[in-house]
Structure 1
Amino acid sequence: MTRPLSDEQPSGNQGRKVAARNRAALIAAAREIYAEHGLDAPLSAIARRAGVGQGVLYRHFPDRAAIGTAVLEENVRQIEKVAAADASDIVRILGVLTWHVTESTAFLGILHAHGASSRSGALAYAAALSKRVEQAVRARMPGGHRLAGHPDDLMIAIAMVSGAATGPTREHREHRARRAWRLLGVEVGPVRPYEE
């Protein structure tokens, strides 16, 4: 694994590439730290896990909300990418979605926010992200699929699975998420991140 470089030390004309790698490393580290320690984990732990200084973290993400938003955006973007891929089917898409549910504590909140009141900007934002997930998954859902019946069935099922995906380790959360899908009678593909 390539260790991120400091934004201050780009070699040659590598500044933007280094900054992009550091940003990606910070998002991946935040996802891991949040999954292990919850959303209140210290930002310094995220910087350490990413292999960068706190100054680099704050240059990319000025506060806790900014890095949480970046994790959520990346999760949704991956689900949209897998749904848009030519070879994707609903089983594969649900596997990627389940990976994000079990890997990313921050992701769980948006899945439960569907239909939440839009009194605050954060809830409206969460509802918009939830809608993007729903649209991406629904676009690949075959007409006769178990979750295609009622318009609310898909997001209720995802909320139920994400609620079941609890536990001290990612493996435990994955086991519980797979059991929840089985209880709902829904087939899920390999639980892993989307790889192009």
Structure 2
Amino acid sequence: MTQHPTSEERRPANRGPKAAAGNRAALVTAAREIYAVHGLDVPLSRIARRAGVGQGVLYRHFPDREAIAVAVLEENVRQIEQAAAAEGATPAGVLGVLTWHLTQSAAFIGLLHADGASGRLPAHAFARELSERVERALRGCLPEGHRLGAPDDLMLAVAMVSGAVTGPTHRERAHRALAAWRLLGVTVGPVRPFEG
């Protein structure tokens, strides 16, 4: 029996070498979407199909499964930093962006606790670096006297909320995350990606 690819898996024509940056961005977006639904064990070929590129293109940008997962985490942190640096940034708004990334990236918690990662940093050092960048971004928009302003409170609250982010759908994970923030007495803006 012949199986036909779904619309999600159909590949458009190769866009050529000049499209490298666009291909990389498409791969990161596809990986985020697929990992959020199916976890880290999804075949890399599925990510390539979702991004509209061949597997060779995927491997030119990301030599292995960990490399693409790390790229998604880097992009998550970069968006949180951009949200915090945006004009008129508020703690509630930035926490909404952070919460969106937590609900989209729950599958990556395992990566951050792995014994080692290919690439420039061991997993624990990489996780610490990402955590420090998120903390700096969040602290930069907290007003003096904010409920999370004490030295350890901010990242402890983030860790507690990330532990509550469970459930089979984005909606359920977002609901649980917002409930956790509410129990901590912290106001969070809309749970959505940063749109700068």
Secondary structure of the corresponding residue to residue 148 of structure 1: coil
1:95–1:9 distance in 2 versus 1, CA, 3 Å: closer
Secondary structure of the corresponding residue to residue 148 of structure 2: helix
State how many pairs are aligned: 181
Q: Which whole-Å CA distance do the structure 1 matches of 2:167 and 2:21 have between them?
A: 32
**Structure 1, gaps ≥5 residues long:** 114-119
Shift of 1:122: 1.3
Secondary structure of the corresponding residue to residue 194 of structure 1: coil
Shift of 1:4: 8.5
Retained in 1: the 8 A contact 2:106–2:166?
Answer: no
Retained in 2: the 8 A contact 1:181–1:187?
Answer: yes
Shift of 1:143: 1.2
Alignment of 1:26-175 (within 5 A): 26-108=27-109, 121-149=122-150, 151-175=151-175
Shift of 1:84: 0.7
Comparing 163-172 with 103-112, greater Cα deviation is found at 103-112
Secondary structure of the corresponding residue to residue 192 of structure 1: coil
Shift of 1:105: 2.5
Shift of 1:5: 6.1
Retained in 1: the 8 A contact 2:95–2:188?
Answer: yes
Retained in 1: the 8 A contact 2:79–2:194?
Answer: yes
Q: Which whole-Å CA distance do the structure 1 matches of 2:75 and 2:107 have between them?
A: 11
Q: Which whole-Å CA distance do the structure 2 matches of 1:107 and 1:100 have between them?
A: 11
Retained in 2: the 8 A contact 1:26–1:57?
Answer: yes
Retained in 2: the 8 A contact 1:157–1:184?
Answer: yes
Which residue of 1 is the match for residue 186 of structure 2? 186
1:77–1:59 distance in 2 versus 1, CA, 3 Å: same
Amino-acid identity (%): 67
Following TM superposition, the consecutive aligned residue runs of length 4 or more in structure 1 with deviations greater than 2 angstroms are: 3-6, 105-113
**Structure 2, gaps ≥5 residues long:** 1-9, 115-120
Retained in 1: the 8 A contact 2:84–2:137?
Answer: yes
One-letter amino acid of the counterpart of residue 159, structure 1 = A
Q: Which whole-Å CA distance do the structure 2 matches of 1:4 and 1:141 have between them?
A: 45
Comparing 51-60 with 171-180, greater Cα deviation is found at 51-60
Retained in 1: the 8 A contact 2:111–2:123?
Answer: no
1:9–1:186 distance in 2 versus 1, CA, 3 Å: closer
One-letter amino acid of the counterpart of residue 161, structure 2 = V
Shift of 1:110: 7.8
Secondary structure of the corresponding residue to residue 143 of structure 1: coil
1:39–1:71 distance in 2 versus 1, CA, 3 Å: same
Shift of 1:147: 0.6
1:143–1:92 distance in 2 versus 1, CA, 3 Å: same
Q: For each residue in 1:3-60, what CA deviation from the matched residue of structure 2 results, as whole angstroms up to 9, or x when unmatched?
A: 9866x543xxxx43x2111111110111111111112221112112112111111111
